[in-house]
Structure formats: structure tokens, C-alpha cells
Amino acid sequence: MITIKEAKTKKELTDFIKFSFELYKNNPYWVPPLINDELEGFDKDKNPAFENAEAKFYLAYRDGKIVGKTAAIINWQEVNQQGKKKVRFGWFDVIDDIEVTKALLEKVYEYGREKGMDHAEGPMGFSNLDKVGVLTEGFDQIGTMITWYNYPYYKEHFEKLGMTIEKEYHESVFSFFDVDPAPFQKASTLIKKRYNLRAVSFSSSKEVMPYVDKMFDLFNKTYEKLSSFVAISEIQKEYFKKKYVGLINPEYIKFVEDQNGNIIAFTIVMPSFSEALIKAKGRLFPFGFIHLLKARKNSKEVVFYLIGIDPEYQNKGVTAIIFDEYYKVFMKNNIHTCIRTPELEDNYAMHNLWKNFNPKIHKRRKTYKKEL
């Protein structure tokens, strides 16, 4: 018999997190999160996502043993501003038993109906900056700290239970070593001169901080028309500053300014922490932080996390400036692999940015929908 219980206490939420460690303990491609970092993300008093959202965390038990988990989330900003009566589900993990999957999803649907929602979609987090999608291709590729990994049977479970594909994403890899830099170097010089633009680079996290609020404002402006976009609030800006900026090598943060000092483009690239997180095994101490610090400085792989260009400049070649800046720093630091985070299959404008780098798609993922 399968029993579903809500995880409420710190111990129950810790069990919620640690179930994934048990499920993937022998899998070399799963990247474990930091346990305390996950706990903070589930804490209503610490994660500003709860400013506009609410969530339930469910554990599935059989014979007293945890066999699955999921979070059910309602982002009220999305519901009220976009009119999408959607209950999200995320942090979904389960053994290969479709009855467990069914029981967990039914709990999500029940919660959605109680709140007046008319459909469910997932896996996805609280907002656009959270992880998204169930992996459908690329099971033999190591994950990143900003994506979920899962076994192949997840997709099979969802489809057998009558869920339909809602969104499709792909991830790809490329290298600056594989391209001739001359075209974008020449274009960078011309575009800077034509529009009175300049590249802004940093050598310390302290230098970055004054720009972060403006960056998120531009992020909101850039992505506001995308499906399911939820704007980042002022409180969330402060949260992400503290949580992420210190992890990023400041050399990998690039901005482009106009002649009046307005940010018209930005890119955030993070060192790959995948190997470091595997070694850390979910804990910063006693040695986990050492692995992360080494990766921050020495990783030869990077993850393109965010890129945004003011709509006014999106067809004016500004990306040439960005590529030129990254070419310089990647050559200096011997960065051999660049990883792109999940991008919607139909976001053709984004795909076109990278076409000259001959990116190779190495993973695909989807979100699934169910009418309630």
C-alpha cells in the first residue's frame, strides 16, 4: 500500500532531499545538491519565492520506506497576472513503479483543484530561474547544478498516465576553440563604434554588485513575452545576489553599456560545479567547500546561465561584443567546454545566437501537462 504524507518538519524535509541521494547513489551522472541549500529553498522565511507562491512537499511511503517525492507549487503571480490556473510540480523523484508516480501526481492534482487550478504542469520550480523539465535524452551525460537528472522511466510513467507534452527544451555544448574569432572580433569593434557601446568586465564580486539590480531589470524586460515568464521581484533580486554572485568567477560576468551608462546586454556564465558537487556529497563541510572553491577558480567547463539583450538592440549585433569578451577570457583560462542551459525548442532567436559555434545538442527535456 502506498501512503502519501506531507513533509513539514526539518527532518521530514531533509528526508525529502535525501531520498534522491539514495535513488541515485550509484549513478555517475546525477549531480547532488547541497542539502542545506535545498532546505533553505524550501523555507518560507528564507526563500523570497514564497512572496508570491505556496507549496506542499509530499513523500510517498510503502512499508515504512520512502519510495517517491514531489513538490506541488502554485505561483500566484503567474495565476493572477497571466491568468494561468496552473499547479506546478517539481523536485519529482520516484522508484520505477508507475503506481507510486500515479499516487504522487494525484496528490498534486488534488492540491491544484483545492486551490481552483485547472491544469498541472511539471517538472518545474517556483520561477523561471529554477530547474525545469524531465530529462528525455542524454541520460549518459553528467548533469549541472541548475538542472534535474532523472531515469528514463519518468517519461514513460507520465505518458502512460495520460500526461501530454507541454514544452520541449534542449541543451547543447560547444567550444570557443572550434571557431574563427576574426568575424566577431571585427564586428565587435564596428558595433561598439556605431552605437557608442562599451563592454564592462570585472575582477571582483564587489565590483559586480552595483550592476545586479539593473541586470535583473533587463532580464525581466528581455524575457517578459516568453511562455510562463514570471518577473523577478525586488526581494528576489537581493536573494539571488547573496546566493549566486559569490559563486561566479567575476571574469565570467559581462555587461554592455550605452553611452549613458545604461545596461543594454548582460551574460552570466558560471564555472561548472558538477564534479565538485559530486565530491561534496551534499555537504559544504568538512571538505565540500574546498571542492567548490577549486571549481570556481579552475574548472575548464562553464555553464552559460543567463543572457539578456534589450529588445531595442536585439538585431544590432551586440552579441559580437559579448563573444569577443568571452573569447579573451576563455582563451586565457583554457576553458574547453561551454554548456548551454535548457532553452525552449521554439526560442529560435536564442538558438540563432550560437549557430556559428556549431553547438551539439546533448540533452533534451520536456514538461508535461494534465488537465484537472
The class that CATH gives domain 2-169 is alpha beta
pLDDT of residue 365: 98
pLDDT digits (tens, 9 = 90+) for 45-60: 999 999 999 999 999 9
Q: Residue 17 to residues 32, 37, 141, 337, 363: CA-CA distances in angstroms?
A: 10, 10, 22, 30, 24
Are 20 and 32 contacting, i.e. CB atoms less than 8 angstroms apart? yes
- Confidence at 227, pLDDT banded by 50, 70, 90: low
Give yes or no for residue 226 having a pLDDT over 70.
no
Q: Which CATH number fits domain 176-335: 3.40.50, 1.10.287, 3.40.630, 3.30.450?
A: 3.40.630
Give yes or no for residue 233 having a pLDDT over 90.
no
Nearest to 61 by CA among 114, 32, 33, 97: 97
CATH fold match for the domains 2-169 and 176-335: yes
Are 195 and 258 contacting, i.e. CB atoms less than 8 angstroms apart? yes
pLDDT digits (tens, 9 = 90+) for 175-209: 999 999 999 999 999 999 999 999 999 999 889 88
Which parts of the chain fold into alpha helices (H)? Answer: 10-23, 35-41, 76-82, 98-114, 153-160, 182-195, 205-223, 234-244, 274-280, 288-298, 319-333, 348-353
Dist. CA 305–CA 290, nearest whole Å: 23
The number of beta carbons lying within 10 Å of the beta carbon of residue 39 is 17
Are 104 and 68 contacting, i.e. CB atoms less than 8 angstroms apart? yes
Nearest to 325 by CA among 244, 251, 222: 251
Q: Where are the domains of the chain?
A: 2-169, 176-335
The number of beta carbons lying within 10 Å of the beta carbon of residue 340 is 23
Give yes or no for residue 319 having a pLDDT over 90.
yes
The stretch 239-257 carries a mean pLDDT of 86
Give yes or no for residue 222 having a pLDDT over 90.
no
pLDDT of residue 228: 62
Dist. CA 34–CA 284, nearest whole Å: 7
Dist. CA 146–CA 342, nearest whole Å: 9
Note if the bond before 286 is cis, omega within 30 degrees: yes
pLDDT of residue 372: 97
For 316, which DSSP code?
Answer: T
The stretch 16-42 carries a mean pLDDT of 97
Dist. CA 301–CA 131, nearest whole Å: 20
pLDDT digits (tens, 9 = 90+) for 253-305: 999 999 999 999 999 999 999 999 999 999 998 889 899 999 988 999 999 98
Chain mean pLDDT for the chain: 93
Sign for the pseudo-dihedral over CA of 91, 92, 95, 99? positive
Are 321 and 307 contacting, i.e. CB atoms less than 8 angstroms apart? no
pLDDT digits (tens, 9 = 90+) for 117-166: 999 999 999 987 799 999 999 999 999 999 999 999 999 999 999 999 99
> Backbone phi, then psi, for 17, in 5-degree steps?
-70, -45
Task: Quote the cell numbers at residue 94.
Answer: 520516484
Nearest to 130 by CA among 298, 294, 367, 369: 367
Q: Which residues contact 305 (CB under 8 A, 6 or more apart)?
A: 146, 268, 269, 270, 341
Q: To which H or E segment does residue 27 belong?
A: none
